Amino acid sequence: MILGVDNFSSHYDVALKKLNAASLKAQNIPIIHKNLNDSNLAERLPKDLDYIFHFAAQPGISTTSTFNDYLENNVLATKALVDYALGLSNLKLFINIGTSSVYGLEAAFKEDVPPKPASF
């Protein structure tokens, strides 16, 4: 089973997100409209997942972003997803995708070069 979870935040065009969700639904891929920080997250998600690919984070962290936004949307949301994942008996792999914010202003370098974040 493949499914998507998205909170449909307005950071990106919501109409485009809905168009993408409709395209996925047309391929029998359900999309759950949910914030990872919601207290009942585990109740809405299946218990038999084998893999989780975590792309959910607040993109475009900048000086206009508050630390609380970063904490809630990136750190606490990831923790909520990890907590959910720990309860899955079939889980084989959890992949947390790093965003471009991790790499800073220069993202085209070798893998053994430490990242230089431009923001927290």
- Indicate whether 108 belongs to any domain: no
- Indicate whether 117 belongs to any domain: no
Express each pLDDT in 30-43 by its tens digit: 999 999 999 888 88
Express each pLDDT in 9-33 by its tens digit: 887 789 999 999 999 999 999 999 9
Which helix (H) or strand (E) segment is 54 a member of?
strand 51-54
How many domains, in total, are found in the chain?
1
- Indicate whether 36 belongs to any domain: yes
| pLDDT at position 60 | 63
Domain extent, residue 48, equals: 4-103
- Indicate whether 115 belongs to any domain: no
- Indicate whether 30 belongs to any domain: yes
- Indicate whether 71 belongs to any domain: yes
**Helix, strand, or coil here: 24?**
helix
Structural contact between residues 81 and 54, judged by C-beta atoms closer than 8 angstroms? yes
- Indicate whether 116 belongs to any domain: no
Backbone angles phi, psi at 32, to 5 degrees: -100, 125
Express each pLDDT in 63-115 by its tens digit: 677 888 888 888 899 999 999 999 999 999 999 887 666 777 777 778 888 87
| pLDDT at position 114 | 83
- Indicate whether 62 belongs to any domain: yes
| pLDDT at position 103 | 72
Tell me the pLDDT band of 57, cut-offs 50, 70 and 90: confident
CATH number at 31 reads 3.40.50.720
